[in-house]
Chains A and B, each alone.
Chain A
Amino acid sequence: MTSLRIASSRAASEAAAVDGAAARPYVDLAGVTKVYRRAGREDTRALDRVDLAIRDGEFLAIVGPSGCGKSTLLRLVAGLHLASTGEVRVDGRIVDRPQTNLGIVFQSPVLLDWRTALSNVLVQVELRGLDPRAYKERALRLLAQVGLADFTDRYPHELSGGMRQRVAIARALIHDAPLLLMDEPFGALDALTREQIRLDLEALWLATRKTVLFITHSIDEAVLLADRVVVMSPRPGRIERILDIHLPRPRGLDARRSPEFTQATEAITEIFLARGVLHGTATPIGKE
């Protein structure tokens, strides 16, 4: 059944490809394997023959347990690590070095302590050798969009964890790159902050329609945010299934009550149960 769903998803993307160049995947992984070699230890196969195409303007989430190679996959797309075998392409070009035409957000906000929120957003353009003054207006607007209009001159230690992550998101968007990579961006936040920042991220995405690769270990988050959810299994990291999520947007707080949401989260939970990632009772508990 699993293979059937993959096959149908594959067929759908191929059908879309016939429509023309616009349907060419923006990010394309073909037969990608990543093996980490360390002296004196057994090789770790983080990813095993992964094929994945992310469409232009698509919000794609990858959900999986720790150690399934989802962060590795994101780093391969960014060119921060290189694939052992197979090919990673972004916008048609093979990734063989760190990619610069993207924005990236990690689980920790990794802000610079000596810079204000505004200055932390602008460091993105400064490091690119651009004139920060030309981006100040845009940075202020972005900070306002993520709800930090009154905090632009605050230092990171004066901001809460959620606010810091919002600054990191603004920093990833300031240079208007077509691709946004997010590696468990809400992983360190409390549940309420998480819910709000999720709603805000969707609003931002609806306004910009960038291609987003969103890594998470939260099933709910993946289903609530993504157009498609990729389910991965651990060791070696493999794609188990790709689910299309047809919930209408914007997906407010009500989205959790819709039958589609329940169906999708239960389907993913069942995969994790079948793979031994979750175990215990037959009812899908412990989704989040």
Chain B
Amino acid sequence: MAMSASGARRAGAAVVGWLRTRGGAIAIFALLFLVWEAAVHLTGVKEYLLPPPSKVWTEFWRKHDAIAGAAWVTTQEILAGYALAVVVSIPLALAVAYSRFMEQAVYPVIVFLQIIPKIAIAPLFIIWFGFGFAPKLLLVFLLSFFPIVVSSIAGFKSADKDVMDFARTTGASAWTMFRKIRLPQALPHIFTGLKVGAALAATAAVVAEFVASDRGLGYLLLQYNGQLDTPMVFATIVVLSLIGLVVYYAVEIVERLAIPWHVSQQATAKDATL
């Protein structure tokens, strides 16, 4: 009895704590929607210019089958392209960090290619790979790839000189040093790149669908736009944002599990500045 009471108190404290940190943002969002709704009704703005949130919601609910199908297509493009970027960029970063040749030959090329506005390449992909899944996957890959590879290289090269000198006095093998020192030390940098890459993945998928597609949320968005179905344009944008948010937070949860020491270190640093 006493235990459940204290458990309830703890759960209550957790909710209060969560509300105290997030409550402000939630309140601002709620207020924004209220003002939006009220403003539309009071000013009598045409629905095709600015629909009220309530209309966005009812329209979304009516046509959610179409959106769900398109969302699944876009999600697949995001996940496949992002996975490909992770699988290619981290081993490449390792090679650049550990091989002098790769560093001198490949790294400058990566830095140069990074400057190209990748989205401008999308039409080329259509010419080369047609209208199917491949050009979307490649554009997602391309946009996610660079932040991951660049920060991973920085991570693998970040090992402190004195730490490595200490490790050398233990006679540890290169593999042991990598496993126990270099890799864990690189992980915070790698996750920074992974999060930036995740945030870009959704953008890349939509742009690729804009350029040429008959499926997906980007395609749907253009359709609704052409029909001046503005409530559905809003609904599609919200769904796109949610997909991006879920991908981003999925990476962040993996980060929390993989390097809890780093996350808590940041939390302490933040506390210290407050």
Q: Are A110 and B163 in contact (CB under 8 A)?
A: yes
CB 8 Å contact bits of A231-257 with B (1 = contact, 0 = none): 000000000000000000000000000
Q: Are B169 and A98 in contact (CB under 8 A)?
A: yes
Q: Which residues of B contact A157 (CB under 8 A)?
A: 264-265, 268-269
Q: Tell me if B55 counts as interface (CB < 8 A to partner A).
A: no
Q: Are A127 and B172 in contact (CB under 8 A)?
A: yes
Complex Cα–Cα for A99 and B163 (A): 15
Complex Cα–Cα for A251 and B168 (A): 34
Question: How many Å from the CB of A238 to the closest CB on chain B?
Answer: 25
CB 8 Å contact bits of A100-115 with B (1 = contact, 0 = none): 1011101010101111
Q: Tell me if A129 counts as interface (CB < 8 A to partner B).
A: yes
Question: How many Å from the CB of A24 to the closest CB on chain B?
Answer: 23
Complex Cα–Cα for A102 and B180 (A): 20
Q: Are A128 and B265 in contact (CB under 8 A)?
A: no
Question: How many Å from the CB of B273 to the closest CB on chain A?
Answer: 14
A124 with B162, Cβ < 8 A, contacts A114-B184, A157-B268 known: no
A106 with B166, Cβ < 8 A, contacts A127-B177, A157-B265 known: yes
Q: Are B261 and A113 in contact (CB under 8 A)?
A: yes
Question: How many Å from the CB of B243 to the closest CB on chain A?
Answer: 32
Instruction: Tell me which residues from 94 to 144 in chain A have a Cβ below 8 Å from any Cβ of chain B.
Output: 98-100, 102-104, 106, 108, 110, 112-115, 123-124, 126-129
Q: Are B176 and A127 in contact (CB under 8 A)?
A: yes
Q: Tell me if B117 counts as interface (CB < 8 A to partner A).
A: no
Q: Tell me if A78 counts as interface (CB < 8 A to partner B).
A: yes
CB-nearest residue of chain B to A105 = B166
Q: Which residues of A contact B162 (CB under 8 A)?
A: 106, 108, 110
Q: Which residues of A contact B184 (CB under 8 A)?
A: 112, 114
Q: Tell me if B45 counts as interface (CB < 8 A to partner A).
A: no
Greatest chain B CB density within 10 A among A99, A157, A158 is at: A157
DSSP class of B's interface residues: helix, strand, loop or mixed? Answer: helix
Q: Which residues of B contact A113 (CB under 8 A)?
A: 185, 261-262, 265
Q: Tell me if A155 counts as interface (CB < 8 A to partner B).
A: yes
CB 8 Å contact bits of B147-188 with A (1 = contact, 0 = none): 000000000000010110111111110001100110011000
Instruction: Tell me which residues from 129 to 176 in chain A have a Cβ below 8 Å from any Cβ of chain B.
Output: 129, 155, 157-158
Q: Which of B163, B165, B167, B259 contacts A114 (CB 8 A)?
A: B259
Question: How many Å from the CB of B21 to the closest CB on chain A?
Answer: 21
Q: Which residues of A contact B160 (CB under 8 A)?
A: 108, 110
Complex Cα–Cα for A114 and B262 (A): 7
Q: Which of A106, A115, A124, A155 contacts B170 (CB 8 A)?
A: A124
CB 8 Å contact bits of A73-87 with B (1 = contact, 0 = none): 001001010000000
Complex Cα–Cα for A124 and B160 (A): 16
Q: Are A98 and B261 in contact (CB under 8 A)?
A: no
Instruction: Tell me which residues from 225 to 274 in chain B have a Cβ below 8 Å from any Cβ of chain A.
Output: 259, 261-262, 264-265, 268-269
A112 with B265, Cβ < 8 A, contacts A98-B169, A127-B176 known: no
A112 with B181, Cβ < 8 A, contacts A106-B162, A155-B261 known: yes
Q: Are B170 and A128 in contact (CB under 8 A)?
A: yes
Q: Which residues of A contact B165 (CB under 8 A)?
A: 75, 78, 80, 104, 106
Question: How many Å from the CB of A211 to the closest CB on chain B?
Answer: 15
Question: How many Å from the CB of B31 to the closest CB on chain A?
Answer: 37
Q: Which of B167, B185, B259, B268 contacts A127 (CB 8 A)?
A: B167
Q: Which residues of B contact A123 (CB under 8 A)?
A: 180
Q: Are B169 and A100 in contact (CB under 8 A)?
A: yes
Greatest chain A CB density within 10 A among B169, B176, B177 is at: B169
Q: Are A102 and B169 in contact (CB under 8 A)?
A: yes
Question: How many Å from the CB of A97 to the closest CB on chain B?
Answer: 9
Q: Which residues of B contact A155 (CB under 8 A)?
A: 261, 264-265
A78 with B181, Cβ < 8 A, contacts A110-B160, A113-B261, A157-B268 known: no
Complex Cα–Cα for A115 and B167 (A): 15
Question: How many Å from the CB of B250 to the closest CB on chain A?
Answer: 22
Complex Cα–Cα for A112 and B181 (A): 8
Question: How many Å from the CB of B6 to the closest CB on chain A?
Answer: 25
Q: Which residues of A contact B170 (CB under 8 A)?
A: 100, 124, 127-128
A127 with B180, Cβ < 8 A, contacts A100-B169, A104-B166 known: yes
CB-nearest residue of chain A to B172 = A127
Complex Cα–Cα for A40 and B169 (A): 31
CB-nearest residue of chain B to A116 = B261
Q: Are B169 and A78 in contact (CB under 8 A)?
A: yes
Q: Which residues of B contact A78 (CB under 8 A)?
A: 165, 169
Complex Cα–Cα for A158 and B268 (A): 8
Greatest chain B CB density within 10 A among A102, A110, A129 is at: A110
| 9 closest Cβ pairs, A-B complex | A127-B170, A127-B172, A100-B171, A114-B261, A98-B168, A157-B265, A106-B162, A110-B162, A110-B163
Q: Which residues of A contact B (CB under 8 A)?
A: 75, 78, 80, 98-100, 102-104, 106, 108, 110, 112-115, 123-124, 126-129, 155, 157-158
* Additional 14 contacts, C-beta under 8 A, given A108-B160, A114-B261: A78-B169, A98-B171, A100-B170, A102-B169, A103-B169, A106-B166, A108-B162, A110-B160, A112-B163, A112-B184, A113-B265, A123-B180, A127-B170, A129-B176
